[in-house]
Amino acid sequence: MAYQKGEGKSVVIALGGNALGNTPQEQLELVKNTAEHIVDMVAEGINVVVSHGNGPQVGMINNAFDYASTHDGKTPAMPFPECGAMSQGYIGYQLSQAILNDMKRRGIMRSTACVVTQTVVYPEDPAFQNPTKPVGAFLTEEEAMKRAEETGYTYKEDAGRGWRQVVASPKPQRIVEFDAIKDLMDDGYIVISTGGGGVPVIEKDDSYHGVPAVIDKDRSSAKLAADFKADMLVILTAVEKVCINFNTPEQQELNSMTVAEAQKYIEEGQFAPGSMLPKVEACIEFVQQHPEGKALITSLECAADGLKGKTGTVITA
């Protein structure tokens, strides 16, 4: 059945790692809290697309298959793109279930749809020439070289602890399932998509092919939100507001930033790589591609108030 679309804003929400656990059991409990905050927004008429990270989860799946393949001789090694798809499936299932249960408890007649998402990347992306993201199990040099010969994947020595597969982190170019996500959103579904940035694929001979890589989920969420022309991109993290001079006596919380101000702070080195920097960069990309939209960085607990302009850091063109 088609559900009634909310009368409020359209929002793409990128869940940070603090919203998910390190094991399926821990995650199942944590997503209940996450779902409550998302349903708070749904209850106010906001139309929500939810994306999420998958770093610990895809590593767990990859490690499990690598270990089983190495030790029991019966389990096949699982290609990294398939591990990414598996992580999207089970995280999406748990988020979908938690949101459905909370909506049912509140008497909200809406439903969810989880879309396992592919994200097109360019094979010429410079990131492929320098894969740096370690994934999977530790191997001996002999095992790593054998795997490299069999699969064509890249393995590097990791801080004296052994050899691991390393993958690239290319820039997202297009969400393959965008039309399906938009149609579901227009029909009133709460959509869970683009998990872990989406499974990276390249286009070759008029078809898609998965590649061993990881895409920054905030950048993919920004791309999805811009293409969708969402009113707002919301990137959730562990803090209520973005700060400059972080962890110093001069620390200052920011209520808002323009793109120019954000770029100035980046040049000053105000935002830590691997932490706040990619989130701010994703927000810049969103508002540059869709100047009518706004981006918000805040915590999960403050998201509803942030959408009302009461807290968080807002980035505008």
pLDDT digits (tens, 9 = 90+) for 147-160: 888 777 788 887 78
The catalytic residue among 195, 279, 293, 312 is: 279
Q: Could you identify the residue written with the tokens 């009461």?
A: 310
Residue 146 falls in the annotated catalytic set = no
For residue 88, being part of any structural domain is answered with: yes
**Structure confidence by residue, pLDDT tens digits, 189-213:** 999 999 999 999 999 999 999 998 9
How many Å apart are CA 22 and CA 265, to the nearest integer?
33
Residue 13's closest CA among 30, 42, 2?
Answer: 42
Q: What is the pLDDT of residue 295?
A: 98
> If DSSP codes are grouped into helix, strand and coil, which group holds residue 149?
helix
193 strand-pairing partners = 115
The more confident residue out of 41 and 77 is 41
For residue 136, being part of any structural domain is answered with: no
Q: What is the largest CA-CA distance in the chain?
A: 60
Give 75: exposed, middle or buried? Use CB within 10 Å, 0-12, 13-18, 19+: middle
Q: In this structure, are residues 88 and 53 in contact, taking their beta carbons and an 8 Å threshold?
A: no
209 strand-pairing partners = 202
For residue 285, being part of any structural domain is answered with: yes
How much is the average pLDDT of 171-180?
A: 97
For the chain, give the mean pLDDT: 91
For residue 215, being part of any structural domain is answered with: yes
Q: What is the pLDDT of residue 167?
A: 84
**Structure confidence by residue, pLDDT tens digits, 53-84:** 887 788 789 888 888 888 887 899 899 999 99
CB neighbour list of residue 178: distance below 8 Å, 6 or more residues apart: 224, 227, 228
Q: What is the pLDDT of residue 161?
A: 81
CB neighbour list of residue 124: distance below 8 Å, 6 or more residues apart: none
Q: What is the pLDDT of residue 17?
A: 62
The catalytic residue among 5, 8, 18, 188 is: 18
Q: What is the pTM of this model?
A: 0.88
How many Å apart are CA 157 and CA 148, to the nearest integer?
13
For residue 132, being part of any structural domain is answered with: no
Q: At what angle do helices 80-106 and 24-43 cross, to 10 degrees?
A: 50
Residue 18 falls in the annotated catalytic set = yes
**Structure confidence by residue, pLDDT tens digits, 112-133:** 999 999 999 999 999 999 887 7
Q: What is the pLDDT of residue 152?
A: 77
The catalytic residue among 5, 32, 133, 171 is: 133
Q: Which amino acid is at 171?
A: K
Residue 228's closest CA among 181, 158, 169?
Answer: 181
How much is the average pLDDT of 254-273?
A: 95
Residue 210 falls in the annotated catalytic set = no
Domain that holds residue 35: 10-119+175-315
Residue 217 falls in the annotated catalytic set = yes
Query: Does the structure show a pLDDT above 60 at 1?
Result: no
For residue 168, being part of any structural domain is answered with: no
Residue 204 falls in the annotated catalytic set = no
Q: How far is CA 110 from the centre of its chain?
A: 24
The catalytic residue among 9, 182, 217, 241 is: 217
How many Å apart are CA 127 and CA 115, to the nearest integer?
26
How much is the average pLDDT of 32-52?
A: 93
How many Å apart are CA 250 and CA 165, to the nearest integer?
41
Joined tokens for residue 309: 């302009």
For residue 250, being part of any structural domain is answered with: yes
Q: What is the pLDDT of residue 265?
A: 97
Q: Could you identify the residue written with the tokens 């399932």?
A: 177
How much is the average pLDDT of 5-20?
A: 83
**Structure confidence by residue, pLDDT tens digits, 226-251:** 999 999 999 999 899 999 999 899 99
Alpha helices in 21-74 (DSSP H): 24-43, 55-72
How many Å apart are CA 226 and CA 233, to the nearest integer?
8
How many Å apart are CA 136 and CA 153, to the nearest integer?
12
115 strand-pairing partners = 193
234 strand-pairing partners = 13, 296
The structural domain count of the chain equals 1
Q: What is the pLDDT of residue 54?
A: 86
CATH of the domain at 194: 3.40.1160.10
For residue 290, being part of any structural domain is answered with: yes
